[in-house]
Structure 1
Amino acid sequence: MKNVLLAFCLLIGLNVFSQNGIIKGKITDKLSEKPLQGVSVVLVNVENNAAITDVNGNFTLQNVPIGRQIIDINFAGYENSSVPNIDVTTGKDVFLSIALTETFTTLQEVVITSDNGKIKAINKMAAVSTRQFSVEEVNRYAGGRSDVARLVANFAGVSAANDSRNDIVVRGNSPSGMLWRIEGIPVPSPNHFSTLGTTGSPVSALNPNMLANSDFLTSAFPAEYGNAISGVFDLSFRKGNKDDYEFTAGVGAYPGVEFMAEGPMGKNQGSFLVAGRYGIAGYLGGSGTGAAIPNYNDVSFNLDFGKSKLGNCTLFGIAGFSNIEFLGKDASDDDLFSAKDANQKLNSDFYAIGLTHKISTGNNSFLKTTIGTSNSLNSYEEDRLFDIGTPTENKIRYTESDNTENRITISSLFNSKINKNVTFRGGVLFEFFDINFNLLDRFKQTDANGDGFEDLNTIYKTKGDYTILQPYAQVQIRLSEKFTFNGGLHGQSFSVNNQFVIEQRTSVTYKVNNNNSVNLGYGLHHQNVPAPILFQNEIIGGNLVQTNKNLKLVQSQHYVLGYDVKLADKWRGKAEIYYQSIRNAGVEDFASSYSTLTEGSDFGYSTDKTSLVSNGKGNNIGLELTIEKFFSKGYHALLTTSFFESKYKGSDGIERNSPFNNKYVINALGGKEFTIGKSKRTVLSLDGKITTSGGRFYSPIDLMASQNAGYQINDEANAYSQQYDAYFRLDLRTGIKFNSKKRKQSHIFYCEIQNVTNNKNIFVSRYNRLTNQVNRIDQIGLFPDFGYKFQF
């Protein structure tokens, strides 16, 4: 009878436990990243629910009520911290990575409390133009399509007024100026259907459910970032649940069908996390590709082998595969990507794999080394159809490209917290590139053999290798409780033109009081000209010569002044003004409007720009304002505004608008959550987003010249002198979350209407070679998005 009663009590206990959630986490020192033992973690508004971190800095809060929760963290000698907006469900444990800052003074009576939210960057050396973001935001914001690139388009300084691509335009710069990093190493564009050298595409291959909180930087980066002049996407994969096996299955219009598994691995408190997705957007008509069906899928993983005497090792990776075929017979006049007189086939694959080793080298120091390899492959074939529907109809190969880039990366970083006020970080990044670029094209070629068609000539044919070496060193000095200095040097050696540069990075933060702070930053940055331009061929004396290889690294100087203010509890305001001066851009050696700063505004790069010289200039200036209400009391809000000018000069010396000069971008987002039902276990959410921006500038089309040539010819003398209509889009989203009463399960449904007003936002004006007229092509109109996720 006693055994029966004991079993009954255990059953009740397990049943009660299963009705609630679990919060786990790891607490470290922000500067040394050393685990902190003995930290007190208290669940706010819930009696007798607290935990103390163990020797590895880990804690667990059991039996946490579902819904949004807050925890308070206290540790002697460190600033007290609070983590709000923790979304607890029954289907999945919550894991938090929390970094505490040591108090400047040892006086115990001085108590400083701060929100451990997204105001500060994860990178401790980043003080200006940085925004931390979370997976929770990716899945909550309306219009995001489960795409982190579209998420950051909501932040001040970012423009992405294009429903068909997720290119990231930062402060008027070309998207080719972006740097993508995963787990500390540069990677190829993590997107499906990307082409050589580009950084965006219609669909992201990054699974947001794989990501930990990450940083997005828009200028004056710390010294460890290099070979980028516009922005940095510094992404981290989260670790799997090291205590329990968890699974997620779901389906959505854009991410597609997905499955994720995680759990403990090995004997050293290791874990695994694996996820895969298969795209279905094309079958639902949301890809903008007409009758063509895009095929894409991706897989990601993160294997943590746990901590041992030899340190901690982690193996991570991501791979994406995509292909699509456009047939002229299926094309319509308003198709975004295809034409009636062309059959096109595109294949795009990539992968990145890395092994990270991290070991403590003292009480407050560590050495982190990552070895990685990556590959990006894209091929394109186009057959042009002539005399369609007539007895003389024929088909010829018009374009053929096959581009492969292999990369081996070695990164080593040493971090040492010398004392509570001084931290040093230094390291080196080495990249070895093995490339094989090939392009045959008839576009703008002559008819030397007299067959009535342009000749299929070699535009570039490159097989070789090159290296980029980037050493750096930086220091953070807390001069007082109010004043913090960050300074560093970054070096960059580029083997193609044998150029070596040294760059200065500096930022200071002055904390006026607990609610106000001023930030000032400067950064000198360089980046090589995009590879499709750099390795382009020119026929000289019957030989193919790469006449752009001696182009200098493009130079960019960033100046930033920022002001942060705590407007109220959970309300934050931020203003930044910036100026960016760009030099050494590639321009033609005769008077023209062309500059490499205008590249990246299309799906590919120019194929007829040779013998370029490094005399181009540009500048970007702007003001950004942000008002943000972090999620609390059941709602959130975000208003961002950017006002800017983006200009450039070609070799003709005339200052023009860049194709990325929208002049203004305004985003307004908000959402509310309601708990419904008797047990308050079901959560209903409503979210909305309004985006408007100025239209991009474009070059007028010379219709007569285009009709004579048979392809589009722009009026280059008036390059980027005309502006498209303003962009406007309204997105609405509703979701519901069911938390199981008896099992560790949750069901999440959402439905979203994108472009609710069906606004006709222009995609492009282009010359139609079949009608000999200029046609306007609009972007995707109203489109319903949906999704379901099952966590267990």
Structure 2
Amino acid sequence: MKKIFLIILSLLGLTSFAQTGVVKGKIIDKQSEKPISGAVIMLIGNDENQTTSDEEGNFKLSGIPLGRQSISISLTGYESTSVSDLDITTGKDNLLTIPLTEQFNTLDEIVVTAGSNKAKAINKMAIVSTKQFSPEEVTRFSGGRSDVARLVSNFAGVSTGDDSRNDIVVRGNSPSGMLWRIEGMPVPNPNHFATLGTTGGPVSALNPNLLANSDFMTSAFPAEYGNAIAGVFDLGFRKGNPDEYEYMISAGAYPGLEFMAEGPLGKKGGSFVASARYGFVGVTGLAGTDAQPNYSDVSFNVDFGKSKIGNFSIFGIYGTSDIDFLGKDIDKEDPFAAQDEDGYVTSLFGSVGLKHNLAIGSNSSLKTILGYSNSGNTYKNDRYYDFGTPDENKLRFSDVDNTENRFTFSTLFNSKLSKKTTIRAGLLFENYTLNANVKDRDRQDDADGDGYADLVQIVDLDGNYNIVQPFAQGQFRLTEKLTFNAGIHGQYFSINEQFVFEPRTALTYAFNSSNSVNFGYGLHHQSVAAPILFLNEFVNGNPVQTNKNLDLVQSQHYVLGYDVRFSKKWRGKVEVYYQDISKAGVESFPGSYSTLTEGANFGYSIDKTSLVSKGKGHNQGIEFTVEKFFSEGYYTLFTTSLFESKYKGSDGIERNSPFNNGYVVNLLGGKEFKIGKAKKNVFSIDTKFTTAGGRYYTPVDLQASNDAGYEIRDDANAFGKQYDSYLRLDVKFGIKFNSKKKKRFHQFYIDLQNITNHTNIFTMEYNRLTNSINQKDQIGFSPDFGYKFQF
């Protein structure tokens, strides 16, 4: 401790020299997305420090004092805006893309809007149930593990209850209902240790240091989004610094060791940014398991600059992971493995896209993306029968090998017809090639009479299919206070040859500058997850895929919201919603099963065949948000969700879904303190408190399990019991040092997660070795830590 104290004092002494930072970027028209020249960018508090945007919308504002600073942007004929509390450091320039909205009436006085208004979406067509977030929030909030998926668990409408995975449960929907997009391109599950059909995992492969401000949507999405019924993660990669080279080295318990570089590329205003990470959480003992996880990922975004035929860029991400669960090395309380088995897990994920932006006239543009994605996972499981006895026998119990390849073509035409009307139209085409092989002994017969359940091929697929999604939508500023969005989305699924049309609409009315009301409706469809769709059922001894013609699951979203700005930096919001779901897969005979209950684990059911599209469900609730945007050195976020999630199987009985927590409460806050002789360094404290109702689960039928020798759940009482409430308190301490030398910046943090060491239940499961029901708990107190050096 004495050595650490001396190091900190010496760093404080090195950083007393006054330095300044830089803010630069581009000003664009929000409707047409074209660059705006002549906009005045000014440092708030120093009217003399200002600049104007050039013909390409680019600007550079230098000589900005270190610490939290704000800038204003104004131009005749446009609504003025500001970007508040930028974190100015010596280690890196701040790069921004700032949209301006043309005034409804050019005779009106220009009104400066409060802050950057992060309550509004980046996508101008999304005006309900959407939250814009920044990369800084991903790394700022306590308990987040630098994971963008864990960040949104703080937002209203998103529930959590499992520290081992980052599954996103939106308004009681299964995580499998999520859509992930990067730079406008749909991508497979972007998490390490991911499996086919899932959308979450233990560790994110998305690097927040490469992300730009992005949108997260929870209901009634605009018409350009499809094949999802729960939520949309619309992520953007930022561009690299177009003027000079910058580098970063960092280390964190969960993200691992990282190196990042960025800088100019060519003579046409191009740039690049790229990073590589290697995880070492297993070395720290914070993985939540005795096994050693290995994972790494790379990400990049290369912008080739403006040319006569438009702007080209290429972006990509690739991640790989593996872990071996060896029974002899596993503690009996390990939540992921058992002592009488060995498991070998691998997964990979990769996406690359070539994007082309072409300006058409003065107010229109065409964006086209060609993309390729690949994902795969394997799972080999060896079971030790008669474990611990002289007759112990090792047999392959499960063998999974899945590979999905996806080719994507998308095009989007955007045109600003006038200051009051903007239209968008486009097409998304996806071609999937799926090679899936699953063998398992679980719940199988002993047809060969060797005394063991047979290893049966339950999935055997080598084929391809297409999803085609055309769309058109428009935004109409009917009056200065009333904005109306409307569109239609189409979806064709080649497996069952089903084509559907989906109307989408949203309306917002501003009573004044501080109060507004909005309404949204959307019809959405999604294909049943591939692991269920392509299951084999043996009919007369022959494997038949009896689920492949299931209909697209249908969901209707209704949402009504009210926004209020209490003051310049305070915002409140309330939303009520109802979601009606139909055409889910259920059993052809009376039963409690529904495909709506799948998607929150590493795998899917392997015995649900001959399903029919007659399942129903509904989600309803009310959400409250009170937020103080970061200003004056502190922020606060309070969100509460009260909701109900129900479903019906083929027996017609209404049951709780496994995601029916009932309530979620989040309270976050943080404060920064200027330290050092010149007050250019920062000490910060952030905290987060979360509590939620426990998830519902199907209890184990102990007698039946003892008789069978494997776990059997009481399906007649499906999701009839509830785990204890989830509760967690995190506290994070950080410190930032601005070096007296240019382009030197250090940041340290330690995040004390679950500091009360509260026992949250992971699962209740059958122990075949002791013939009993065991409770396995989630991770208790767990310190996270990190260091970043920018230069």
TM-score, L = length of structure 2: 0.97
Distance of aligned partners of 1:111 and 1:681 in 2 relative to their CA distance in 1, 3 Å threshold: closer
Letter in 2 for 1:59: F
Letter in 2 for 1:635: Y
**What's the counterpart of residue 268 of structure 2?**
268
Aligned residues of 1:327 and 1:342 also touching (Cα < 8 A): yes
| Deviation >6 Å, runs of 4+ | 15-18
Q: Please give the residue correspondences for 1:676-691 in structure 2 after superposition, counting only pairs within 5 Å.
A: 676-691=675-690
**What's the counterpart of residue 420 of structure 1?**
419
* 2:300 pairs with 1:320: no
**What's the counterpart of residue 8 of structure 1?**
none
1:356 Cα shift? 0.1
Aligned residues of 2:125 and 2:485 also touching (Cα < 8 A): yes
Deviates more, 1:535-544 or 1:320-329: 535-544
Aligned residues of 2:82 and 2:112 also touching (Cα < 8 A): no
Q: Deviations over 1:37-87 (max 9, x none)?
A: 000000011352101000110111111101000101110000011110111
Matched residue SS, 2:337: coil
Aligned residues of 1:149 and 1:167 also touching (Cα < 8 A): yes
Letter in 2 for 1:658: S
RMSD over aligned Cα, in angstroms? 1.1
**What's the counterpart of residue 238 of structure 2?**
238
* Alpha-carbon distance in 2 for matches of 1:274, 1:544: 46
* Alpha-carbon distance in 2 for matches of 1:446, 1:647: 34
Letter in 2 for 1:305: F
1:289 Cα shift? 1.5
**What's the counterpart of residue 203 of structure 1?**
203
Q: Please give the residue correspondences for 1:348-367 in structure 2 after superposition, counting only pairs within 5 Å.
A: 348-367=347-366
Aligned residues of 1:18 and 1:744 also touching (Cα < 8 A): no
* Alpha-carbon distance in 2 for matches of 1:536, 1:715: 23
Distance of aligned partners of 1:16 and 1:370 in 2 relative to their CA distance in 1, 3 Å threshold: farther
**What's the counterpart of residue 259 of structure 1?**
259
Aligned residues of 1:619 and 1:648 also touching (Cα < 8 A): yes
**What's the counterpart of residue 11 of structure 2?**
none
Aligned residues of 1:524 and 1:557 also touching (Cα < 8 A): yes
**What's the counterpart of residue 475 of structure 2?**
476
1:112 Cα shift? 5.0
1:497 Cα shift? 0.1
**What's the counterpart of residue 3 of structure 1?**
none
Matched residue SS, 1:113: coil
**What's the counterpart of residue 64 of structure 1?**
64
* Alpha-carbon distance in 1 for matches of 2:113, 2:332: 60
**What's the counterpart of residue 6 of structure 1?**
none
**What's the counterpart of residue 496 of structure 1?**
495
Q: Deviations over 1:347-385 (max 9, x none)?
A: 000100000000101100000000000000100000001
Q: Please give the residue correspondences for 1:27-42 in structure 2 after superposition, counting only pairs within 5 Å.
A: 27-42=27-42
1:17 Cα shift? 11
* Alpha-carbon distance in 2 for matches of 1:110, 1:85: 22
* 2:451 pairs with 1:452: yes
1:116 Cα shift? 1.9
* Alpha-carbon distance in 2 for matches of 1:408, 1:83: 38
Letter in 2 for 1:247: Y
Letter in 2 for 1:49: N
Aligned residues of 2:16 and 2:676 also touching (Cα < 8 A): no
Aligned residues of 1:17 and 1:63 also touching (Cα < 8 A): no
**What's the counterpart of residue 750 of structure 2?**
751
Matched residue SS, 1:115: coil
Letter in 2 for 1:372: G
Letter in 1 for 2:124: K
1:119 Cα shift? 1.2
Aligned residues of 2:315 and 2:352 also touching (Cα < 8 A): yes
Aligned residues of 1:345 and 1:382 also touching (Cα < 8 A): yes
* Alpha-carbon distance in 2 for matches of 1:302, 1:109: 40
Letter in 2 for 1:85: D
1:389 Cα shift? 3.0
1:501 Cα shift? 0.1
**What's the counterpart of residue 379 of structure 2?**
380
Letter in 2 for 1:624: E
Matched residue SS, 1:238: coil
Aligned residues of 1:18 and 1:743 also touching (Cα < 8 A): no
1:471 Cα shift? 0.1
Q: Please give the residue correspondences for 1:551-630 in structure 2 after superposition, counting only pairs within 5 Å.
A: 551-630=550-629
* Alpha-carbon distance in 2 for matches of 1:241, 1:18: 23
* Alpha-carbon distance in 1 for matches of 2:33, 2:388: 69
1:149 Cα shift? 0.1
1:114 Cα shift? 4.0
1:495 Cα shift? 0.1
Distance of aligned partners of 1:267 and 1:572 in 2 relative to their CA distance in 1, 3 Å threshold: same
**What's the counterpart of residue 7 of structure 1?**
none
* Alpha-carbon distance in 1 for matches of 2:363, 2:405: 37
1:417 Cα shift? 0.2
**What's the counterpart of residue 764 of structure 2?**
765
* 2:153 pairs with 1:153: yes
* Alpha-carbon distance in 2 for matches of 1:516, 1:94: 32
Aligned residues of 1:629 and 1:638 also touching (Cα < 8 A): yes
**What's the counterpart of residue 511 of structure 2?**
512
1:101 Cα shift? 0.5
Aligned residues of 1:745 and 1:791 also touching (Cα < 8 A): yes
**What's the counterpart of residue 775 of structure 1?**
774
* Alpha-carbon distance in 2 for matches of 1:401, 1:264: 44
Q: Please give the residue correspondences for 1:503-542 in structure 2 after superposition, counting only pairs within 5 Å.
A: 503-542=502-541
* Alpha-carbon distance in 1 for matches of 2:581, 2:387: 48
* Alpha-carbon distance in 1 for matches of 2:104, 2:376: 51
* Alpha-carbon distance in 1 for matches of 2:110, 2:469: 42
Matched residue SS, 1:352: strand
**What's the counterpart of residue 100 of structure 2?**
100
Deviates more, 1:389-398 or 1:69-78: 389-398
* Alpha-carbon distance in 2 for matches of 1:555, 1:206: 30
1:450 Cα shift? 1.0
Letter in 1 for 2:157: G
**What's the counterpart of residue 675 of structure 1?**
674
Aligned residues of 1:80 and 1:114 also touching (Cα < 8 A): no
* Alpha-carbon distance in 1 for matches of 2:578, 2:16: 58
Q: Deviations over 1:469-504 (max 9, x none)?
A: 000000000000000000000000000000000000
Gaps of 5+ in 2: 1-14
Letter in 2 for 1:237: F
* 2:90 pairs with 1:90: yes
* 2:433 pairs with 1:434: yes
* Alpha-carbon distance in 1 for matches of 2:71, 2:46: 10
- Number of residue pairs the alignment of both structures matches: 777
**What's the counterpart of residue 395 of structure 2?**
396
1:744 Cα shift? 1.4
Matched residue SS, 2:674: strand
1:108 Cα shift? 4.7
Letter in 1 for 2:327: G
Matched residue SS, 2:406: strand
Aligned residues of 2:160 and 2:692 also touching (Cα < 8 A): no
* Alpha-carbon distance in 1 for matches of 2:283, 2:294: 10
Gaps of 5+ in 1: 1-14
* Alpha-carbon distance in 2 for matches of 1:622, 1:666: 14
Q: Deviations over 1:600-648 (max 9, x none)?
A: 1322100001000000000000000000000000000000000000000
Letter in 2 for 1:286: L
Aligned residues of 2:274 and 2:301 also touching (Cα < 8 A): yes
Aligned residues of 1:18 and 1:742 also touching (Cα < 8 A): no
Q: Deviations over 1:513-547 (max 9, x none)?
A: 11000000000000000000000111112211100
Matched residue SS, 2:706: helix
* Alpha-carbon distance in 2 for matches of 1:451, 1:46: 84
Letter in 2 for 1:169: V
* 2:105 pairs with 1:143: no
* Alpha-carbon distance in 2 for matches of 1:411, 1:110: 38
TM-score, L = length of structure 1: 0.97
Aligned residues of 2:405 and 2:433 also touching (Cα < 8 A): yes
* Alpha-carbon distance in 1 for matches of 2:115, 2:32: 20
**What's the counterpart of residue 409 of structure 1?**
408
Deviates more, 1:104-113 or 1:398-407: 104-113
**What's the counterpart of residue 283 of structure 1?**
283
* Alpha-carbon distance in 2 for matches of 1:707, 1:29: 67
1:700 Cα shift? 1.2
Aligned residues of 1:81 and 1:115 also touching (Cα < 8 A): yes
Letter in 2 for 1:490: H
Letter in 1 for 2:537: E
1:110 Cα shift? 5.1
